[in-house]
Amino acid sequence: MYRAAVIGDRDSIYGFAALGLDVNIIEHGEDPAPVFKKLCEGEYAVIYVTEALAAELSPKIEHYQEQKTPAIILIPGVTGNTGEGINAVKKSVEKAVGSDIIFND
């Protein structure tokens, strides 16, 4: 059975434990790559990543976005929204339907 996980700083993700997600806290200065790789190669169908952490993991996230699972979803952290999560949704929609049907300017 697939599970869901979240990875990021403590303040941004701690509340996800109450929802039943596996919480993976990355301390300031800690390398997130080994934890992220372990999650991607595990039993996870969905992995939520804070936008700040996603900036550090960008090449690794791109690698896994070409695969069926896990779905990697960017979420804002307590420091604010960088807009990367919205951009990722926009790219996914464009790829799926061939045009920007949600955010057309």
Question: pTM (2 decimals)?
Answer: 0.81
Domain range list for the chain: 3-97
pLDDT value, residue 30: 94
The C-alpha atoms of residue 64 and residue 87 are separated, in whole angstroms, by 17
Fold of the 3-97 domain: Rossmann fold (3.40.50)
The answer to whether residue 1 scores a pLDDT higher than 70 is yes
Closest by Cα among 37, 35, 34 to 13: 35
Model pLDDT for residues 34-87, shown as the tens digit of each residue: 999 999 998 999 999 999 999 899 889 888 887 888 999 898 888 766 667 667
DSSP β-bridge partners for residue 48: 6, 73
